[in-house]
Amino acid sequence: MELELLRAISRGGAGMALATIIDVKGSSPRHPGAKLLLRDGGCLGTVGGGRGEARALEACRNSLEDRGASLLQVAMVGSDIAGPDQVCGGTSTLLIEHLGEVAPYRMALERLERGERALLVKRIVAPAPCPAAGPVTVAVALLDQVGAPAWGEVPADPAAAARALDRGQARFDPEAGVFYDPLCPAEKLLILGAGHVGRALAAIAPALGFAVTVVDDRPEFLVPERFPEGVRTLQSGFGAAIGAFPFDAATYAVVLTRGHHLDLECVRALLRRTWRYAGFMGSARKTRLILDQVLQDGCDPAKVAALWAPIGLDIAGETPEELAVAILAELVAVRRNAGILPGLRLAAAARRA
């Protein structure tokens, strides 16, 4: 969604207004960083739907008229389940902006298309120190993926900027009036092995926003009718494919080959690359043997410890489709920084063995 929204903003136009959730207290359907763009021809994105989104759209229309910015507070604390008020239990604060200058968004798009992250930093100045709603002025800056200034000047806490970039999570500092909004590139999923689980994984992953590439050295496993439209297939040796693939910090790699020797080949190659997530499927014994071998090879112990193995959340799944769901649940947990750690996987597998 971020790429699509940034492309729409970068094209410019006479009238664009952006609604961004900057803070949430309690429960809300969307989290800080969620965006809704109002432009000629309709809107793009969502800040949660329902009456809250209707209010955000109304505020965006007002912003187009007065070419200003404001804060909007949406309370979802209704108690009548049969009534019209939202009952999520939380309150969201939204920043509404008329977009006149698109340069920082265009520069952010260029970075995302190179597989890099970027950070929008917005300083919100209001008559009151921390208003719940009302007119504000906004200054915008863009930082690159290492936190260096790329456009504009806004005072930013380096530690807060680094944390937002690293975790990919937006956050608002109400005392400073600064909103840190990380923009993340499209996530790539490299599936190494086109067998039953690989095929099932490739069938579901695109709906979760992953750009999927499936690699196998057997051409009969890569025929187009086995995969949805848009899934890229590549006939290649696994080590060579990993060496040539454009890995970056938004890449997820899943090893699902037909043999432990091929899994080992993949793991050795992956340990030489940069990724957000990499792991392989197998029993506790197979996992331990592969991890011990790459440590004996002299691979960086910290990089080995970052591997996810055996992959997949424990949902007691058995069929290829169930295993694919377990793996994708784990990928989403990593995407959302849900607090699970790769080092727990092997211990859990050993207990089940």
Give the tens place of pLDDT for each residue, 148-204.
999 999 999 999 999 898 778 899 999 999 999 999 888 999 999 999 999 999 999
Question: pLDDT band at 106, cuts 50/70/90?
Answer: very high
Whole-number percent of the chain with pLDDT over 90: 71
What's the whole-number average pLDDT of the chain? 89
pLDDT at 93 over 60: yes
Q: Which helix (H) or strand (E) holds 313?
A: none
245-282 confidence digits (pLDDT tens): 999 878 999 999 999 999 999 999 999 999 999 999 99
Q: Which CATH number fits domain 188-352: 3.80.30.20, 3.40.50.720, 3.30.70.20, 3.30.2010.10?
A: 3.40.50.720
Confidence bin at 77 (pLDDT 50/70/90): low
Q: Which residue has better confidence, 79 or 31?
A: 31
Is there a contact between 183 and 170 (Cβ–Cβ < 8 Å)? Answer: no
Band the pLDDT of 348: cuts 50, 70, 90: very low
Q: Are strands 277-280 and 188-192 parallel, antiparallel or unpaired?
A: unpaired
Give me the percent of the chain exceeding a pLDDT of 70: 91
- 349, pLDDT greater than 50: no
**pLDDT-based confidence at 343, cuts 50/70/90?**
low
Half-sphere exposure in the Cβ direction for 49 (13 Å, CA): 2
CB 184 within 8 A of CB 190: no
Q: What is the mean pLDDT of residues 349-353?
A: 44
Q: Which two tokens stand for residue 129?
A: 């120190």
Peptide bond into 310 cis (omega under 30): yes
Q: What is the DSSP string of 182-197?
A: EE-PPPEEEEE--SHH
Distance (Å, whole) CA 56 – CA 63? 10
How is residue 202 written in tokens? 């490739």
pLDDT tens-digit series, residues 194-239:
999 999 999 999 999 899 999 999 999 999 999 999 999 999 999 9
The segment(s) of the chain belonging to CATH 3.40.50.720 are 188-352
Q: What is the pTM of this model?
A: 0.69
For residue 307, count CB atoms less than 10 angstroms from its CB and return exposed for 0-12, middle for 13-18, buried for 19 or more. buried
Torsions phi, psi of 293, nearest 5? -65, -45
User: pLDDT-based confidence at 350, cuts 50/70/90?
Assistant: very low
Element (H, E) at 69: strand 69-76
pLDDT digits (tens, 9 = 90+) for 290-326: 999 999 999 999 999 999 999 999 899 999 999 999 9
